[in-house]
Amino acid sequence: MAGIVLVGAQWGDEGKGKITDLLADDFDYVVRFQGGNNAGHTVIHGGRTLKLHLIPSGVMYPHITPVIGNGCVIDPAVLLEEMDTLEADGLSTHRLLISCNAHLIMPYHRDLDGASERRLGSLEIGTTRRGIGPAYMDKASRMGLRVQDLTDEHIFMKKVEAALVEKNDILTKVYGLPGHSAEAIAEEYMGYAERIKPHIADTSAVINRALEADQWVFFEGAQGTLLDLDHGTYPFVTSSSPTAGGACTGVGVGPRRIDRVLGIAKAYITRVGSGPFPTELDDIPGGVGEILTRVGGEYGTTTGRQRRCGWYDAVIIRYAVQVSGITDLVVTKLDVLSELDRIKVCVAYEYEGKRYDRLPCHQTVFHHARPVYEELPGWKTDITGCRRFRDLPKAARDYIGFLEDHAEVPVSIIAVGPAREQTILRRWERRP
Ligand code: GDP
Ligand code: IMO
Ligand code: MG
């Protein structure tokens, strides 16, 4: 076993940061393969809470090399700020490697993200407004600037000038916003370049060499399956590939390098931003939605927005297992359900008299899908101190068993609190 992928099985914020940090100790490399600073991964390390947006969650361990792969988009100002924060916390970032082929988020990407959301009005996607979508758009339209362009001021300038011909027209004529000057952008980014250059590497070569040498590589996903550009609830998705295939293209490794795919899911489900959500609960005071928000602390790590909360949706998880070839499920925040008398799980949908056991392909069906629930008893006990599966109350074990039956893969890891040690490793052997 050497290549492990961790993907969000829902709409993000499943606890990827915590689980990556927990398992990373056994690994030599932790690699981010997609997304940018739209991600917010919370890691509690030595009593301190760290919010990571770009840097892989394995950065806490001195023996790990954190890597930002080619599939990511990088806002250099945010990256350097994050590095400074970590350094100020006594965590070294000198080992960080950044793919020469990762794309750069430019100031006009942020402007365009905000402007297009404002124009959409009530139809907005609810993006993080960090410039993620516009940066991936430029990548696809072959107009993007890459990390390697930071090493050549002449090329950088030429590419910015070429991009601004179009961007300034859109900003000024379509959105009535000020344009940008190539000189100002170049000056700003060349300032960042000096600090970023020592970290730039051919990360595909580095990771392939490591895997050939039987070193262990952990591919840390951001976002989640239903935010995947191809497989998610389009158009209410992000612009990258958070499913397991994204780890291959986003790092430059072949699929045979992946030994195990961990799919991570909350014991309920949340979503930030717009889009369909069949099991969504109202956040009326004293209601289940309000309890999940309060007990689960469901406020976005990146934007601070309140997350929409709902019952666990087994149809979504089956779908995530399918599109990523998930081998093991990780269930987090089981403790958040401890206040509830009864717990519902969506096992299928209904639409116009028809039952759907699998995620419907057509967005209209998903938008109007009515969840078919099964109800299980709650356990009404504090489980945050449980460390072995058998320590959990029977109702909690039965709940996990129920999720497992519906996912058709084992629940190998269970989290019962935000701290690293608040975890039950059921089917996970530490590296000898
Ligand atoms: P990520 O984006 O997938 O890394 O998840 P976030 O960090 O955005 O959100 C997950 C939140 O839940 C963080 O505040 C974590 O500290 C917290 N968390 C993770 N696992 C658990 C758990 O098992 N129980 C509780 N109560 N909180 C958890
Ligand atoms: P982590 O890695 C939850 C959502 C946004 C919006 C949509 C598109 O912490 O799980 P974008 O800015 O990416 O163009 O926004 O995707 N979104 C996330 N939701 N967790 C995330 O990351 C997210 N990253 C993006 O809220 O609905
Ligand atoms: Mg998050």
Predicted local distance difference test score (pLDDT) of residue 297: 96
Task: Tell me the whole-structure pTM to 2 decimals.
Answer: 0.97
Rounded CA separation 306/204 (Å):
37
pLDDT per position as a tens digit, 147-191? 999 999 999 999 999 999 999 999 999 999 999 999 999 999 999
CB 237 within 8 A of CB 38: no
Claim to verify: residue 245 and residue 268 sit in the same structural domain: no
Q: How far apart are CA 335 and CA 25, in angstroms?
A: 24
Contact 231, 224 (CB under 8 A): no
Catalytic residue list contains 228 = no
Residue 432 covered by a domain: no
Tens of pLDDT, residue by residue over 221-254, are 999 999 999 999 999 999 999 999 999 999 999 9
Q: Which residues of the chain have pLDDT under 70?
A: 1
Say whether 370 sits in a helix, a strand or coil: strand
Inter-residue contact 37 to 54 (CB < 8 Å): yes
Nearest to 148 by CA among 189, 184, 107: 189
Which of the residues 21, 28, 41, 180 is marked catalytic?
Answer: 41
Both 92 and 229 in one domain: the answer is: yes
Sign, Cα dihedral of 269, 271, 275, 280 = positive
Looking at the structure, do residues 78 and 10 belong to the same domain, yes or no?
A: yes
pLDDT at 303: 85
At 1 the pLDDT is: 52
Cα 272 to averaged position of ligand 1 atoms, centre (Å): 14
- Ligand 1 atom 18, closest CA: 418
Query: Is 13 among the residues known to form the active site?
Result: yes
Q: How far is the CA of 70 from the centre of ligand 1 (A)?
A: 26
CA dist list (Å): 4 to 27, 69, 128, 169, 254: 10, 15, 28, 44, 13
Q: How far is CA 368 from CA 319, 362, 364, 365, 375, in A?
A: 18, 10, 6, 5, 22
Using a CB cutoff of 5 Å, list residues around ligand 3, an ion.
Answer: 13, 40, 301
| Residues ≥6 apart with Cβ < 8 Å to 233 | 226, 227, 275, 276, 363, 366
State residue 146 phi and psi, 5-degree precision.
Answer: -110, 165
Same-domain status, 88 and 203? yes
CA distance 238 to 129: 11
pLDDT value of position 167: 98
Note whether 13 and 79 are same-domain residues.
yes
CB 346 within 8 A of CB 371: yes
Same domain for 208 and 173: no
CA distance 19 to 34: 18
Pick the residue whose CA is nearest to atom 3 on ligand 2.
12
Residue 93 domain-assigned (yes or no): yes
Q: Clarify whether residues 85 and 117 are in a common domain.
A: no
* Closest among 72, 3, 35 to 232, alpha carbons compared: 35
Residue 385 burial (CB count, 10 A): 11
Mark whether 282 and 377 lie in a shared domain.
yes
- SS (HEC) of 238-279: CCCCCCCHHHHHCCCCCHHHCCEEEEEEECCEEECCCCCCCC
Domain count, the chain: 3
Which residue range forms the structural domain that includes residue 367? 264-425
Does 222 fall in a domain?
yes
Please report the DSSP string for 186-220 in residue order. HHHHHHHHHHHGGGEE-HHHHHHHHHHTT--EEEE
- In ligand 1, the atom with minimum distance to the C-alpha of 43 is 16
Mutate-to-test residue for ligand 1 from 10, 16, 128, 333, highest number of ligand atoms within 8 A of CB: 333
Half-sphere CA count of 132, side-chain side, radius 13 A: 25
The answer on 29 and 89 residing in a single domain is: yes
Specify the CATH number for the domain of residue 326: 3.90.170.10
